[in-house]
Amino acid sequence: MPGRLMRLLPGLWAGLLLCVAGLAAPAAFATLPGAEAGKVVGWLFRREAWISLLLASWLLAWRWSGPQAGRAADAALLVGAAACTLLGYFALQPLMAAARAGQGQLGFGALHALSTVFFGVKALCVLLLAWRTTVPTALAR
Protein backbone atom coordinates (compact mmCIF):
# COMPACT_ATOMS: atom_id res chain seq x y z
CA MET A 1 0.00 0.00 0.00
CA PRO A 2 2.69 2.64 0.76
CA GLY A 3 4.15 2.15 -2.73
CA ARG A 4 0.80 2.81 -4.35
CA LEU A 5 0.26 5.89 -2.21
CA MET A 6 3.68 7.22 -3.09
CA ARG A 7 2.93 6.72 -6.79
CA LEU A 8 -0.36 8.56 -6.37
CA LEU A 9 1.03 11.58 -4.51
CA PRO A 10 2.95 13.17 -7.42
CA GLY A 11 -0.20 13.11 -9.55
CA LEU A 12 -2.26 14.68 -6.77
CA TRP A 13 0.47 17.27 -6.20
CA ALA A 14 0.53 18.11 -9.92
CA GLY A 15 -3.25 18.48 -9.84
CA LEU A 16 -3.00 20.86 -6.88
CA LEU A 17 -0.46 23.03 -8.71
CA LEU A 18 -2.50 23.14 -11.90
CA CYS A 19 -5.73 23.94 -10.03
CA VAL A 20 -4.17 26.74 -7.99
CA ALA A 21 -2.47 28.37 -10.99
CA GLY A 22 -5.02 27.57 -13.68
CA LEU A 23 -8.33 27.85 -11.84
CA ALA A 24 -8.25 29.33 -8.37
CA ALA A 25 -5.94 32.31 -8.89
CA PRO A 26 -7.58 33.45 -12.14
CA ALA A 27 -11.04 32.97 -10.62
CA ALA A 28 -10.13 35.13 -7.64
CA PHE A 29 -8.96 37.97 -9.88
CA ALA A 30 -11.99 37.58 -12.17
CA THR A 31 -14.54 37.83 -9.36
CA LEU A 32 -13.00 39.94 -6.57
CA PRO A 33 -11.61 43.45 -6.37
CA GLY A 34 -7.81 43.56 -6.84
CA ALA A 35 -6.76 43.86 -3.19
CA GLU A 36 -9.16 41.14 -2.02
CA ALA A 37 -8.14 38.85 -4.89
CA GLY A 38 -4.49 39.38 -3.97
CA LYS A 39 -5.21 38.33 -0.38
CA VAL A 40 -7.06 35.20 -1.49
CA VAL A 41 -4.34 34.24 -3.96
CA GLY A 42 -1.65 34.94 -1.37
CA TRP A 43 -3.48 32.63 1.04
CA LEU A 44 -3.65 29.91 -1.65
CA PHE A 45 0.00 30.17 -2.64
CA ARG A 46 1.16 30.21 0.98
CA ARG A 47 -0.62 26.93 1.67
CA GLU A 48 0.49 25.46 -1.65
CA ALA A 49 4.13 26.29 -0.81
CA TRP A 50 3.96 24.52 2.55
CA ILE A 51 2.17 21.53 1.02
CA SER A 52 4.81 21.38 -1.73
CA LEU A 53 7.64 21.35 0.81
CA LEU A 54 5.88 18.67 2.84
CA LEU A 55 5.25 16.46 -0.19
CA ALA A 56 8.77 16.90 -1.56
CA SER A 57 10.27 16.03 1.84
CA TRP A 58 7.95 13.10 2.35
CA LEU A 59 8.59 11.65 -1.10
CA LEU A 60 12.35 12.16 -0.79
CA ALA A 61 12.45 10.49 2.63
CA TRP A 62 10.37 7.57 1.38
CA ARG A 63 12.48 7.28 -1.76
CA TRP A 64 15.74 7.05 0.19
CA SER A 65 14.41 4.56 2.72
CA GLY A 66 13.17 1.81 0.44
CA PRO A 67 13.90 -0.40 -2.54
CA GLN A 68 13.37 2.50 -4.93
CA ALA A 69 16.77 3.94 -3.99
CA GLY A 70 18.96 4.71 -6.94
CA ARG A 71 16.33 6.61 -8.89
CA ALA A 72 18.45 9.73 -9.24
CA ALA A 73 16.11 11.36 -11.76
CA ASP A 74 13.19 11.15 -9.34
CA ALA A 75 15.29 12.65 -6.56
CA ALA A 76 16.47 15.45 -8.87
CA LEU A 77 12.87 16.30 -9.77
CA LEU A 78 11.87 16.36 -6.09
CA VAL A 79 14.86 18.52 -5.12
CA GLY A 80 14.12 20.79 -8.07
CA ALA A 81 10.50 21.20 -6.99
CA ALA A 82 11.53 21.94 -3.41
CA ALA A 83 14.18 24.44 -4.55
CA CYS A 84 11.68 26.21 -6.79
CA THR A 85 9.29 26.45 -3.83
CA LEU A 86 11.97 27.84 -1.54
CA LEU A 87 13.20 30.37 -4.09
CA GLY A 88 9.91 31.18 -5.80
CA TYR A 89 7.81 31.61 -2.70
CA PHE A 90 9.85 31.90 0.48
CA ALA A 91 12.70 33.98 -0.97
CA LEU A 92 10.71 36.18 -3.35
CA GLN A 93 7.57 36.91 -1.31
CA PRO A 94 9.39 39.20 1.17
CA LEU A 95 11.00 40.98 -1.75
CA MET A 96 7.62 41.38 -3.44
CA ALA A 97 6.17 42.90 -0.27
CA ALA A 98 9.07 45.34 -0.14
CA ALA A 99 8.61 46.19 -3.83
CA ARG A 100 4.96 47.01 -3.18
CA ALA A 101 6.18 49.46 -0.54
CA GLY A 102 8.57 51.05 -3.05
CA GLN A 103 11.71 49.43 -1.65
CA GLY A 104 14.25 47.15 -3.28
CA GLN A 105 16.03 47.09 -6.59
CA LEU A 106 13.50 45.08 -8.58
CA GLY A 107 9.92 46.12 -9.11
CA PHE A 108 6.89 44.07 -8.19
CA GLY A 109 6.26 43.07 -11.80
CA ALA A 110 9.76 41.71 -12.30
CA LEU A 111 9.62 39.79 -9.02
CA HIS A 112 6.17 38.45 -9.87
CA ALA A 113 7.46 37.27 -13.26
CA LEU A 114 10.41 35.56 -11.60
CA SER A 115 8.08 33.91 -9.08
CA THR A 116 5.89 32.71 -11.95
CA VAL A 117 8.92 31.16 -13.67
CA PHE A 118 9.85 29.28 -10.49
CA PHE A 119 6.25 28.07 -10.10
CA GLY A 120 6.21 26.91 -13.72
CA VAL A 121 9.49 25.02 -13.34
CA LYS A 122 8.17 23.43 -10.14
CA ALA A 123 4.99 22.37 -11.91
CA LEU A 124 7.05 20.91 -14.74
CA CYS A 125 9.22 18.95 -12.26
CA VAL A 126 6.14 17.59 -10.50
CA LEU A 127 4.39 16.73 -13.78
CA LEU A 128 7.50 14.87 -14.97
CA LEU A 129 7.66 13.04 -11.65
CA ALA A 130 3.98 12.13 -11.92
CA TRP A 131 4.59 10.89 -15.46
CA ARG A 132 7.54 8.80 -14.28
CA THR A 133 5.45 7.22 -11.54
CA THR A 134 3.21 5.67 -14.17
CA VAL A 135 6.16 3.38 -14.95
CA PRO A 136 6.00 0.57 -12.37
CA THR A 137 9.64 0.99 -11.29
CA ALA A 138 9.47 4.73 -10.63
CA LEU A 139 8.96 5.54 -6.91
CA ALA A 140 7.21 2.19 -6.65
CA ARG A 141 7.31 -0.98 -4.61
pLDDT at 77 over 90: yes
Sign of CA dihedral 55, 58, 61, 62: negative
In this prediction, residue 39 carries a pLDDT of 94
In this prediction, residue 140 carries a pLDDT of 45
CA 24 – CA 36 distance, rounded (Å): 13
Mean pLDDT of the chain: 89
pTM of the predicted protein model: 0.88
Percent above pLDDT 90 for the chain: 70
Task: Give Cα separations from 141 to 13, 57, 75, 84, 103 (angstroms).
Answer: 20, 18, 16, 28, 51
pLDDT at 100 over 80: yes
**Mean per-residue pLDDT for 72-98?**
94
